[in-house]
Amino acid sequence: MASENNERTPDANELYAQLQYLQQAYSQQYEVLNQSIDNYTAMQIVLRGNIEILEGSKRMEGKEILVNTEGGMYLNAETKKINSVITYIGAGYLVEQNLDDAKQFFDDRIKKADELMSKLITQRQKIREELADINYRLGALQAQGLL
């Protein structure tokens, strides 16, 4: 009986080590997914804010506004009739768009972010399930006293 336990112990120890490795790898993937979801959520907040600004742009015509020039500096400016905006489209490119096209551009980016977030959330759920299974198997090995 004692020799049977000795024969099984190396396999159990190896399995336990493999499960711990998988647990760590999945935990890291889970954290990366959480960070990505947080980043997309923050991006969506900014995009929705841009849409709100575009929708309220007519109310801003002829008003004094503060323009952020980055680096903590702001300029006082007075708006004129707002017919178009300059939109950053990525890779260092800016384009001039009318208000409706700019709003559509931001709506499209929000939809793409929603789709990506949905995929990330699905992946996160799968990893959560894998982690639960690994934790159960680690606990079972410990409970069996095979280590």
Tracing tokens 């992946």 back to the chain, one arrives at: 123
The pLDDT-based confidence of 100 (bands split at 50, 70, 90) is very high
| Interhelix angle 99-144/2-55, nearest 10 degrees | 160
- Where in the chain are the domains? 9-144
What was the pLDDT predicted at 85?
A: 92
List CB contacts of 105: < 8 A, sequence separation 6 or more. 87, 89, 97
* pLDDT tens figures, 64-97: 988 888 888 999 988 888 889 999 998 999 999 9
Q: Which phi and psi angles does 86 have, rounded to 5°? A: -100, 125
Largest CA distance in the chain: 91
Q: Is the pLDDT of residue 32 over 90?
A: yes
CA dihedral 49, 52, 58, 61 (to 10 degrees): -20
CATH top class, domain 9-144: mainly alpha
Q: Is the pLDDT of residue 2 over 50?
A: no
87 Rama class: left (phi>0) / alpha (psi -120 to 50) / beta: beta
Nearest to 111 by CA among 54, 43, 36: 43
- Average pLDDT of the residues of the chain: 90
**Sign for the pseudo-dihedral over CA of 72, 75, 81, 84:** negative
What was the pLDDT predicted at 70?
A: 81
* pLDDT tens figures, 104-132: 999 999 999 999 999 999 999 999 999 99
Q: How far apart are the first and last CA of the chain?
A: 16
CB 111 within 8 A of CB 3: no
Could you tell me where the beta strands, DSSP code E, fall in the chain?
64-68, 74-78, 84-90, 93-98
